[in-house]
Amino acid sequence: MSTEAGPDALAALDLELDVVSLTEQLCNVESVSRHEQHLADLVHDVLLAQPHLRVERSGNAMVARTELGRDERVVVAGHLDTVPVAGNLPVRRDDEFLHGVGTSDMKGGVAVALLMAAHVPEPVRDVTYVFYDCEEIEAEANGLRRIAEEHPEVLACDFAILMESSDAEIEAGCQGTLRVEVTVPGQAAHSARAWRGENAVHRAGELLQRLADFEPRRPVVDGLEYHEGLNAVLIEGGTATNVIPPSCTLTVNYRFAPDRSEAEALAFVQDFFAGYDVRLTDTSPGARPGLDRPAVAAFAEAIGGAVRPKYGWTDVARFSTLGIPAVNYGPGDASFAHRADERVPIAALRRCERAMRSWLTGEDR
């Protein structure tokens, strides 16, 4: 898999293209996580060409701002990276969809944001556009995280929109996520004399049954119902095919509603696995929907349609930790993200572009 810009690499993005063709162009610039530099360079160049924007760069992340002195400022953000290519580049186009890696997650949203940045020079609210790297991998590498920690003032705003896949409808807030490793002890023995040991893999069956019997909470938060999940996602145990396993480790992922803090979520998981060694390996907070905040309510009214809870974690949580209400709004069906048959509806790309242009210009759709 090539991740470097070769001699035939795209020389420049064309922001005179329609949103479908621009999405296709963006997707065909391969940008698997940690290998976004060529695409980041292209985005940086077209942003610098816009005289109404002030542009700053942090590694492979860009921030571009209008400075019109409006009463309200919003952040419009999207990540440039994708999961690894799975035989789904170059992009394929038919009458209904663009097919290929990044079409849904989330270069369609990036295309919409770039067109707004270039072609809406005097929006009715000031806009900070953020295009960033490494969203699809560990949190420590995330470009938006880096900006939020090193330069939080850059993200200061009244409201933020993450252009993640939401089928061109608003998905508010997001679930938190944590992962733990639960270790089940045993006693090694030769498998020919199994009764002299204690099989940790067999003992793990009791924990697996607990998880199978788990009844997820479905709390209502700010008027939206979230659906939690607690699942074993990895299991590891054993040392050799003739040895009774002396230990077994389950990796468990808890997707928790945004009415719980990270500490509360961890306490719940520790209590659920009481009596076993539980080690936290990864955690990110959820984000409340914030539908009671005026900026969120105004955006929802302008866009129209139903407002749904976000099942899953997105970078809206980073804005939430800064006290900024944020929603997910972008083309594409999130259920197709990370799949070999990833796709985005052409109609959703156009609908999302029209809605964002209308909201930023204050004109009726």
In the structure encoding, which two tokens stand for residue 242, read together?
A: 């003739």
How, if at all, do strands 326-328 and 159-162 pair? parallel
Q: Supply the pLDDT for residue 3.
A: 45
- Which member of 24, 30, 135, 158 is catalytic? 135
Q: Is the pLDDT of residue 24 over 60?
A: yes
**Which candidate, 27, 53, 172, places its Cα nearest to that of 110?**
27
Tell me the pLDDT tens digit for each residue of 26-50: 999 999 999 999 999 999 999 999 9
Residue type, 15: L
The separation between CA 92 and the C-alpha centre of its own chain, rounded to angstroms, equals: 24
pTM for the predicted model, two decimal places: 0.86
In angstroms, the CA 138 to CA 140 distance is: 6
Annotated catalytic, 341?
no
33 and 81 Cβ atoms separated by less than 8 Å: yes
Tokens in use for 151?
Answer: 């330069």
- Tell me which residue of 353, 338, 311 sits closest to 103, measured CA to CA: 338
User: C-alpha distances in angstroms, 173 versus 48, 196, 322, 348?
Assistant: 32, 52, 14, 21
**Which percentage of the chain shows pLDDT scores above 70?**
97
What is the spatial distance between Cα 56 and Cα 74, in angstroms, rounded to a whole number? 17
Q: How far apart are CA 28 and CA 175, in angstroms?
A: 31
24 flagged as catalytic: no
- Alpha-carbon radius of gyration of the chain: 23
List of residues 6+ apart from 338 with CB closer than 8 A: 83, 105
Q: Output the pLDDT for position 363.
A: 83
DSSP code at position 338: T
Helix or strand run (H / E) with residue 58? strand 54-58
DSSP 104: I
Strands of the 247-256 sheet, one edge to the other: 229-237, 247-256, 176-185, 277-284
CA distance linking residue 163 with residue 74, whole number of Å: 13
Q: Encode pLDDT of 210-252 as tens digits.
A: 999 999 999 999 899 999 999 999 999 999 999 999 999 999 9
With cut-offs at 50, 70 and 90, classify the pLDDT of residue 138.
confident
| Structure tokens that stand for 363 in this block | 């004109």
Q: All domains of the chain, ordered by start, with CATH?
A: 19-174+287-361 (3.40.630.10), 176-284 (3.30.70.360)
Rounded to a whole number of angstroms, the distance between the first and last alpha carbons of the chain is 42
The stretch 113-135 carries a mean pLDDT of: 97
Q: Partners of 184 in the beta sheet?
A: 248
Residue 76 CA to residue 63 CA, distance in Å, equals 10
| Interval 163-185: pLDDT, tens | 999 999 999 999 999 999 999 99
CB 67 within 8 Å of CB 56: no
Residue from 36, 81, 171, 353 carrying the catalytic annotation: 81
